[in-house]
Amino acid sequence: MKPDFWHDKKVLVTGHTGFKGSWLSLWLQSMGARVTGFSLDKPSSPCLFDLAGAADGINNITGDVRDVAQLTSCLTEHGCEIIIHLAAQSLVRRSYREPLETYSTNVMGTANVLEAARAAPKVRVVIIVTSDKCYENREQLAGYRESDPMGGYDPYSSSKGCAELVTAAWRNSYFNPAEYDSHGVAVASARAGNVIGGGDWGEHRIVPDIMEAFNAGEAVSLRNPDAIRPWQFVMEPLNGYLVLAERMWDDGATFSRAWNFGPADDELRSVAWLTDQLAGRWGSDARSDISKSQHPHETTLLKLDSSRASSELNWRSLLGSGETLDWIVEWYRGYYQGSDVRQITLNQIQRFQEKVLHE
C-alpha cells in the first residue's frame, strides 16, 4: 500500500458509516484522499463513525444502494474514480429475521453499484467487498480458494454468494478484462475473514458482546464456543483492498477478479480461545459462560486460502492474533475510560500503516 497514491484520489465508499467503513474513511482521509461516503443511517448506537468524527472532511451522503439513480448521480457529481463497496446487511442472525431486506441490499445493491459505475464517466476501479461466507461451506480443513463454488446455508451467506455471481456477470458482460482498453474499468471482488477491532457494535458480534460484558463486570454468554474463525484485525483486509485498488489502477486487466484476504492458517482460533485471551488481557473479573438457548445455524469451521493475494499482491496479515487482541483491548479500554476515540483510532491507523510501509 502506497500512501502517496491516494493523495487527491476521488473515492466512493459505500457503507462508510459502518464498522469497516469508518476505519476505511479515516484511513483514506489521513492519506489525503477525497472521500465521498454513501450510506443509510448509522448502523448502531454508539457508532464509531460519530465518535471518531469520521464525517469531517468528506462528502457525507445519506443514500440507499438500492436506488441506482441516486448512486449514479453521486458518482457523477463527485467525479469518483475508485469505488469500494462495503454497504451491506452484514449480520447472519438478522438475515434469518429479514431475508428479503438482506437479499435486496446485498444482491440488488451490488448490481446497482455496478450499473451506476457503467454510467459514471470517471470510474476506473470497482471493488465489491463480499465475505468469506460466500463459499459453499463443506466444513473442510483446507482453505477455500477463489475458484471454489459459491453457496450459503443462511440468507446472509447465500446473498454474498449471489453478490459474487452478480459481480462476475457484470465483469464478464460489461467490464471484460479482455476488452479493458476499450472500457477502462477494472472490477474485482474481495472476500475477507472475520474482522475484529475497536468500534464494532454490531448486533450479536462476538467482540463487542465480550467487551460490553467485561466492562459491566458480567459474564459473556457464548453461543458457539467451539466455532473456528479466521479472525483478523480490521485494517488487515482494508490494506488488502487498498493494495488491490492500486494494482487495478495500474493494470486493470490483470487484477480484475476475485481475491481472498484472510489470516495465516496458524492464526485460526476458536470463539472460546478468543474469549479467554481477551479475558486475560482485560482483568480478573472477566468471565464467560455457555448459552443454553437455541440459536440459528452458524458455520463451525471456516477458512480462506489467501495464497493468490500473497503471491500476486504481496499482501499478508501483519498482526498476529495476540497483537490484534492487545490493540482491541487498548481501544475499548480507552473508550470506556472516556479517552478521545478519534485519536485512539487514528493512532492505531498510523501504527498499522507504519507496519505496512516497513514490510
How far is it, in rounded angstroms, from Cα 155 to Cα 119? 30
Say how many C-beta atoms besides its own lie within 10 A of residue 216's C-beta: 11
Task: Please report the pLDDT score of residue 290 as a whole number.
Answer: 61
How far is it, in rounded angstroms, from Cα 98 to Cα 324? 32
Q: Is the pLDDT of residue 297 over 60?
A: no
pLDDT digits (tens, 9 = 90+) for 150-193: 998 899 999 999 999 999 999 999 999 999 999 999 999 999 97
Per-residue pLDDT band at 145 (split at 50, 70, 90): very high
Cis amide linkage into residue 230, ω under 30° from 0: no
How far is it, in rounded angstroms, from Cα 254 to Cα 247? 9
At position 7, the amino acid (one-letter code) is H
Task: Please report the pLDDT score of residue 34 as a whole number.
Answer: 98
Cα–Cα nearest to 190, from 153, 241, 155, 117:
241
**Helix 321-336 crosses helix 206-216 at what angle (to 10 degrees)?**
50
What is the DSSP annotation of 218-267? Answer: -EEEES-TT-EE-EEETHHHHHHHHHHHHHHHH-HHHH-SEEEE---GGG
Q: Is the pLDDT of residue 293 over 60?
A: no
Mean pLDDT across the stretch 231-258? 97
Q: Mean pLDDT of all residues in the chain?
A: 92
Question: Exposed (0-12), middle (13-18) or buried (19+): which is 55, by Cβ within 10 Å?
Answer: middle
Mean pLDDT across the stretch 114-138? 95
Task: Please report the pLDDT score of residue 300 as a whole number.
Answer: 61
Integer-rounded Cα Rg, in Å, for the chain is 19
Task: Please report the pLDDT score of residue 295 as a whole number.
Answer: 46
Q: Identify the CATH assignment for 3-357 out of 3.40.50.720, 3.40.50.920, 3.40.50.300, 3.40.50.150.
A: 3.40.50.720
- Cell 498499522 -> residue: 352
Q: Is the pLDDT of residue 204 over 80?
A: no
pLDDT digits (tens, 9 = 90+) for 11-63: 999 999 999 999 999 999 999 999 999 999 788 789 999 999 999 989 999 99
DSSP 120: -
Per-residue pLDDT band at 124 (split at 50, 70, 90): very high
- pTM of the predicted model, to two decimals? 0.94
Cα–Cα nearest to 239, from 29, 24, 16, 58:
24
Q: Is the pLDDT of residue 142 over 90?
A: no
Residues in the chain, overall count: 359
Structural contact between residues 55 and 30, judged by C-beta atoms closer than 8 angstroms: no
Cα–Cα nearest to 35, from 19, 24, 50, 48:
24
Per-residue pLDDT band at 292 (split at 50, 70, 90): very low
Give the domain ranges of the chain: 3-357
